[in-house]
């Protein structure tokens, strides 16, 4: 039950998960968050809009993608980031989802590396 409460720390499970992934990834975008959390892009966009208005998140348009991060203008950004990192590290499902995230470039035609499932 304790663990479930921590996922509502920022108002809802979705908002908290977005912030947890932001703290772990540094910078990400709605499509990646949607894939990690398992919800639609639209749902993520909506939550990100709220989090940005509330000062938790900042975004910048780069090419056709809007990149988001914890807002550097939030006075508590460092403490917030530390808290979120601690929470994320102690949620095995968050870390397991992240462990499947490959961001390094892959050459065209190469087979896909896969972590061994034991």
Decide whether 53 or 107 has the Cβ nearer to other proteins.
107
State the nearest-atom distance from the C-beta of 43 to other proteins, in Å. 22
If one asks whether residue 43 binds other proteins (CB under 8 A), the answer comes out as: no
Name the phi and psi angles at 14, rounded to 5.
Answer: -65, -50
Binders of other proteins among residues 86 to 105 (CB under 8 A) are 89, 92, 95-104
Instruction: Give, as ranges, the residues between 21 and 40 that touch other proteins (CB under 8 A).
Output: 24-28
Cα(47)–Cα(57) distance, integer angstroms: 10
Cα gap 37→44, rounded to integer Å? 9
- Cβ 14 to other proteins shortest distance, Å: 21
* Buried b or exposed e, range 66-103, using 16+ CB within 10 angstroms: ebbbbbeebeebeebbeebeebbeebeebeebeeeeee
Nearer to other proteins, 50 or 66 (CB): 66
Q: Report the nearest approach of other proteins to the CB of residue 57 (Å).
A: 16
Residue with tokens 């050459």: 107
Q: Would you tell me which residues interact with other proteins (CB under 8 A)? A: 24-28, 85, 89, 92, 95-104, 107, 109-118
């Amino acid at each position: 039950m304790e663990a479930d409460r921590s996922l509502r720390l920022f108002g809802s499970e979705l908002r908290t998960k977005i912030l947890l992934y932001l703290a772990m990834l540094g910078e990400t975008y709605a499509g990646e968050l949607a894939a990690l959390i398992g919800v639609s892009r639209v749902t993520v966009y909506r939550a990100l809009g709220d989090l940005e208005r509330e000062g938790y998140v900042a975004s910048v348009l780069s090419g056709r993608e809007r990149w988001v991060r914890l807002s550097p203008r939030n006075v508590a950004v460092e403490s917030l980031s530390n808290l979120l990192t601690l929470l994320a590290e102690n949620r095995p499902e968050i870390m397991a989802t992240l462990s499947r995230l490959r961001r390094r470039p892959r050459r065209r035609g190469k087979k896909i590396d896969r972590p061994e499932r034991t």
